[in-house]
Amino acid sequence: MESMTNPSMETADKLHVVMFPWLAFGHMIPFLELSKVIAQKGHTVSFICTPRNIDRLPKLPPNLAPLINLVKLQLPKVDKLPDNAESTIDLPYDEVKYLKMAYDQLQQPMTQILADLAPDWVIYDLAPYWLGPIATKLGISSVFFSVTIAASVCFISPVQILKGLSGEDDRNTPEDFTVPPKWIPFKSNIAFWLFEIKRVFEDASTANDENVPVTYRFGAGIEACNVLAVRSSYELEPEWLKLLEEIHQKPIIPVGQLPTMGYDSCDNDEAWIEMKEWLDKQPQRSVVYVVFGSEAQPSQAELTEIALGLELSELPFFWVLRIRRVMPDSEVIQLPRDEG
């Protein structure tokens, strides 16, 4: 965070930064890790999230805990949202829209919190597209933090297209997204596989009209911020970070991959001991790590294909597999049986 170009970030002895992530663990954990990085520099962080999610976060390292204040913000009740559902992990995919509806009702409470705390900066996620203008009105500098790499942010398009305010995007069919868009000026093979983008189109066609589209949220969030931060580095994708700055005309800060700063000791966990012993025996950079995060779950057919593909690769792999997305009605997926 020291690289931010705002003079107050460079001269102040101690800053107060508010963090406000979307309610998915694939977002909350990177936001928490970024909070730790900021706290390591001696700044104070207010990490704002719902009570149940805060209770489920990893414990903070003792040396950083005094600088990171975990603020519990109650999620409003909305129709069809179960009482204890505070994260995407608590819901079937088609019910996440109700979580977004409840989340959007946090505008007034967040306005009051920011007014009361009067932080130097607020760092927000893609879902609260409404927070940037609130921060501006309160005189608070803001950062839009993308938990994905710069290439993916470049691919999804400029702000005006994301917000549906421009006719420049001629991508109308799934096939159009299987090649790089026209605003990428260099050779690249980054694009969707057809089966991936078909699913995106199917999800969009069944979306509830009451929800603000995720593309609009992303575009409005970027448009309103002072600085755009991405979970990336110049060593990983220098050309994409440069393009991202050209597209959005905002300062870009790559914050790194933000690996988890572990605190909870696993030394007495027998399962972890066994896994660690196996990992220690593998050659460096030889193990394939497979994980789909807290929101995505492959179908049984997809899981079987992935498992067979990993087997055919003959590479050692470490797979974090969630066999059930949410209780009690989700499909339970299972690894294919070894017929050998």
Tell me if 236 sits within 8 A of 149, measured CB to CB: yes
Tell me if 123 sits within 8 A of 17, measured CB to CB: yes
125 has catalytic annotation: yes
- Dihedral sign for Cα 111, 47, 236, 152, please: negative
Please list the alpha-helical segments (H only) found in 269-338: 270-280, 300-313
Active-site option among 90, 104, 120, 125? 125
Place of tokens 């050998």: 340
Tell me if 197 sits within 8 A of 172, measured CB to CB: no
27 has catalytic annotation: yes
Tell me if 320 sits within 8 A of 294, measured CB to CB: no
Say which residues have a Cβ less than 8 Å from residue 106's Cβ, sequence separation at least 6. Answer: 73, 75, 76, 128
Using alpha carbons only, give the angle 136, 139, 145 rounded to the nearest 5 degrees: 55
Using alpha carbons only, give the angle 69, 75, 77 rounded to the nearest 5 degrees: 165
Active-site option among 27, 43, 104, 120? 27
The residues carrying an active-site annotation are 27, 125
